[in-house]
Structure 1
């Protein structure tokens, strides 16, 4: 069996593969008790012989997870660092290692799923946009704050805008709704503009594939057709693991 790890900015996600079958999945936020949660979740796992991981976090958090893995399974995790090319996908970055491994693996999953040409959107702490051509070539992308982070930044930088929930409206008549509407609509506008600008390079009307913790909340607000892709980093990691 394989244990696959996705260390994201907000939380750690994991999945267990027995051959080609996904047997167990889970997630824990970094703000929670990581050690206790993982030990409780993994103590019933038997027969784990390989651990593959993808990480966008600092080395300290990687080391915490590595220690738990070693203690429980007696194997080191194999951390994927973003390659220039793998599994049919070629990075557009001149320095491939500077492309987030989560973005690369989302492209690997999309390419394996037959979604290319497409625009991949990651809606989490960051809002990431990537254009993937039909031949697996990455054409580049954009990074911006995610809608939740935009709101938090505004709350933290202003004296009279307070943290409170709001609705997403075309035009708001109160501050809470205005903040929520402005931040979510800014994300939507960037996605739709990027998709429009990249359309000619992607052969016309590329698929729009959404992933990340806030993808489901954002999807109904888009004017463009789209589909949700769950656990794209883990699924891309599974493809890479099988090939290596």
Structure 2
């Protein structure tokens, strides 16, 4: 069995892969006591043959997670660092290691599941957009603050805009609604512009695939069809693990 780890900006997600199936899964936020929570969750998993991790967080948190995995599972974590290509996907980055491994694995997942050509949208702390063509070539992407982070940035940088919930409207008549509407609609506008600009390179009608913690909230705001996906990083890591189970470098 393989324990797969997705260390994101907000939380750590994990899944236990047993053959072709995900037998168990869970998540823990970074502000929680991850040592206690993960020890409890992983303690009953049984024998784990390999622990594979994808991380966009700092080295200190990777070290904490690795120590827990070693203590509970008796295994070191093999960290996947973004390659130039793999599992059918070719990165557009001249320095491929600078592409977030979460974005790379989301493309691996999309390619493996037959979604290409597509635009992949990650709606979380950051808003990420990536174009993947029918041949598995990454055509590049964009990164912006996610809608929640946009709102937090505005609240923190202005004296009279208070942090309060608002509705998403076409035109607001109060500040709370104006902030929420402006930030979420800015994200939507960027997505729709990116899809429009990339469509000629993607055969004219690419699939739009949404993932991330705020994807479900954003989807109804789009003026184009889209598909929601969950755990694309873990599913992409599972594809990678199956293809490289004996060749991943030691930590």
Q: Give the structure 1 partner of residue 173 of structure 2.
A: 173
Residue 73 of structure 1, CA deviation: 1.2
Superposed CA deviations along residues 198-233 of structure 1, whole A, max 9, x for unmatched, are: 000001010000000000000011001000010000
Q: State how 1:24-103 maps to structure 2 within 5 Å.
A: 24-103=24-103
Cα distance in structure 2, aligned partners of 1:161 and 1:125: 21
Superposed CA deviations along residues 81-112 of structure 1, whole A, max 9, x for unmatched, are: 00000000000000000000000000000000
Runs ≥4 in structure 1, deviation > 2 angstroms? none
What is the TM-score of this pair, normalised by structure 2?
0.97
Give aligned pairs, total.
244
Cα distance in structure 2, aligned partners of 1:163 and 1:96: 38
Stretches of structure 2 lacking an aligned partner (at least 5 in a row): 245-251
Kept after mapping to 1: 8 A contact 2:15/2:25: yes
Cα distance in structure 2, aligned partners of 1:192 and 1:56: 26
Residue 10 of structure 1, CA deviation: 0.4
Stretches of structure 1 lacking an aligned partner (at least 5 in a row): none
Kept after mapping to 1: 8 A contact 2:2/2:49: yes
Provide the secondary structure at the position in 2 that maps to 1:15.
strand
**Residue 23 (str. 1) matches residue 23 (str. 2):** yes
Q: State how 1:1-244 maps to structure 2 within 5 Å.
A: 1-244=1-244
Superposed CA deviations along residues 41-89 of structure 1, whole A, max 9, x for unmatched, are: 1111101110000000000000000000001111101100000000000
Provide the secondary structure at the position in 1 that maps to 2:24.
strand
Residue 243 of structure 1, CA deviation: 0.3
Kept after mapping to 1: 8 A contact 2:42/2:73: no
Cα distance in structure 1, aligned partners of 2:31 and 2:195: 34
What is the TM-score of this pair, normalised by structure 1?
0.99
Residue 166 of structure 1, CA deviation: 0.5
Kept after mapping to 1: 8 A contact 2:52/2:77: yes
Provide the secondary structure at the position in 1 that maps to 2:159.
coil
Cα distance in structure 1, aligned partners of 2:168 and 2:33: 33
Superposed CA deviations along residues 129-175 of structure 1, whole A, max 9, x for unmatched, are: 00000000000000000000000000000000000100100000110
Cα distance in structure 2, aligned partners of 1:61 and 1:170: 41
Cα distance in structure 1, aligned partners of 2:35 and 2:72: 11
RMSD: 0.4
